[in-house]
Amino acid sequence: MKLYNLKDHNEQVSFAQAVKQGLGKQQGLFFPLELPEFESTDIDAMLEMDFVSRSSKILSAYIGDEIAAHQLAERVKAAFAFPAPVAEVTEDIACLELFHGPTLAFKDFGGRFMAQMLSYISGTDEQITILTATSGDTGAAVAHAFYGMENVRVVILYPQGKISPLQEKLFCTLGGNIHTIAIDGDFDACQALVKQAFDDEALKKAIGLNSANSINISRLLAQICYYFEAVAQLPQEKRNQLVISVPSGNFGDLTAGLLAKSLGLPVKRFIAATNRNDTVPRFLSNGAWQPNATVATLSNAMDVSQPNNWPRVEELFRRKTWRLNDLGFGAVDDETTRSTMRELAGLGYISEPHAAIAYRMLRDQLQPGEYGLFLGTAHPAKFKESVEEILQQTLPLPVELAERADLPLLSHKMKADFAELRGFLTQL
């Protein structure tokens, strides 16, 4: 598989290099040179396969002969060891539940596949430092995916006080090779620090720097697989009228969905649903890219005003000659998020703020005859405090959270200051 840097098309790398490097020169994102496409008969046959076999075929179409098919299949099997069920909410709307992995969020798919790929590519004698910023769930998924792995140190930056207490417990209580830092700033500040570190060639070399954000191509490719898994669970008549609504922050999940469509998955339309951090919806409605200051919302993992995967979305539309006008979009404020969560509870479906935003846009924009899926990106219990307050009911804690809830936090605290972060990284 060859990939090019979106900021400098002359920089071309293999899949292995892209996984190890994360970002290219000038912090450019890597993008596949070839966009494989399956025949519709292949797609039909693939939709009959089990999740792991189908996912291996999808990933192999992108990765090519860099990894032998049977070895890739083994890695996929180890990474995707939990289901992604479709749960019916109304007659014409269902939720693709992506929160049945060890950290109860969709990030488990990407995080675990990336860990598998890195360990395959790096072998055993290279020291790697994973540095990543999280607005909530990436941190937990990455921490758990790499926890205890030899020769890998993980450093996770997150905005202090801006992620849910249980989210924090899930990854800041592990210790060992997992180091967590609460940054005095917002998620964009954390992301900026990570970018600065990747710009620092000397540092990169000294500590074997790698990112595990959704910018890493291995994470993105892994996420394509669950869109196929969703369609595989739908009856034939619903497959051709499918609209998928994606709760979006950094736009990795939406990019993966669009890559699934580019492979030939029948999806009529995608909807990019955001909270009040609505840079993309405003851009799609008036053509002006004008990020505002990030505001804190109930759906904190989507509090991103400069979504770093957006250049990939634009590149894909350009390459496929699709029209950005065909992308559905919309932004939902906290008040509407609350009332939508209550509406969903009334329908017998307990949801959390991120998924509720995607549902809201779907139910507002779905046309007669269409079938809608929205992505359930996190387990409601990960947002226990707000869900309980909004729905006025108690949520039981799943075991994955219950076992960490009373453990002490092991995080360091730091200003959003690169010199300080650099010192920390070199002394690890």
- Residue 370 amino acid letter: E
**Shortest distance, CB of residue 9 to ligand PLP, whole angstroms?**
24
Distances (CA, A) of 224 to 96, 192, 252, 262, 318: 13, 27, 10, 10, 19
DSSP state of 324: G
**Shortest distance, CB of residue 276 to ligand PLP, whole angstroms?**
14
Q: What is the dihedral of CA 305, 309, 315, 317, to 10 degrees?
A: -80
Residues with Cβ within 8 Å of 311's Cβ and at least 6 positions away in sequence, in order, are 6, 29
330 binds ligand PLP (CB under 6 A): no
User: Which residue, chain included where needed, has tokens 């387990």?
Assistant: 379
**Shortest distance, CB of residue 145 to ligand PLP, whole angstroms?**
15
**Shortest distance, CB of residue 351 to ligand PLP, whole angstroms?**
11
**Shortest distance, CB of residue 292 to ligand PLP, whole angstroms?**
17
- The one among 97, 108, 137, 400 contacting ligand PLP by CB under 6 A: 137
**Shortest distance, CB of residue 246 to ligand PLP, whole angstroms?**
7
Kindly identify the residues of this chain, within the stretch 73-92, that bind ligand PLP according to CB under 6 A.
Answer: none
Total residues contacting ligand PLP by CB under 6 A comes to: 18
Three state DSSP letters for 137-178: HHHHHHHHHHCCCCCEEEEEEEECCCCCHHHHHHHHCCCCCE
Q: Closer CB to ligand PLP, residue 55 or residue 214? A: 214
111 binds ligand PLP (CB under 6 A): no
- The one among 138, 211, 262, 297 contacting ligand PLP by CB under 6 A: 138
136 binds ligand PLP (CB under 6 A): yes
User: Which residue, chain included where needed, has tokens 């730091």?
Assistant: 414
Kindly identify the residues of this chain, within the stretch 177-236, that bind ligand PLP according to CB under 6 A.
Answer: 214
Q: Closer CB to ligand PLP, residue 80 or residue 270? A: 270
**Shortest distance, CB of residue 376 to ligand PLP, whole angstroms?**
9
Contact call for residues 398 and 175 (beta carbons, < 8 A)? no
Per-residue mark of binding to ligand PLP, 236-255 (x: CB under 6 A): -----------xxxxxxx--
Using alpha carbons, select from 159, 1, 23, 129 the residue that is nearest to residue 67: 1
Kindly identify the residues of this chain, within the stretch 354-413, that bind ligand PLP according to CB under 6 A.
Answer: 354, 377-378
Per-residue mark of binding to ligand PLP, 263-302 (x: CB under 6 A): --------------------------------------xx
CA 25, 28, 33, 34 dihedral sign is positive
Contact call for residues 246 and 304 (beta carbons, < 8 A)? no
- Residue 59 amino acid letter: L
Report the distance separating Cα 62 and Cα 49, nearest Å: 18
Per-residue mark of binding to ligand PLP, 298-327 (x: CB under 6 A): ---xx-------------------------
Q: What is the dihedral of CA 420, 425, 427, 428, to 10 degrees?
A: 140
135 binds ligand PLP (CB under 6 A): yes
Binding site for ligand PLP (CB under 6 A): 105, 135-138, 214, 247-253, 301-302, 354, 377-378
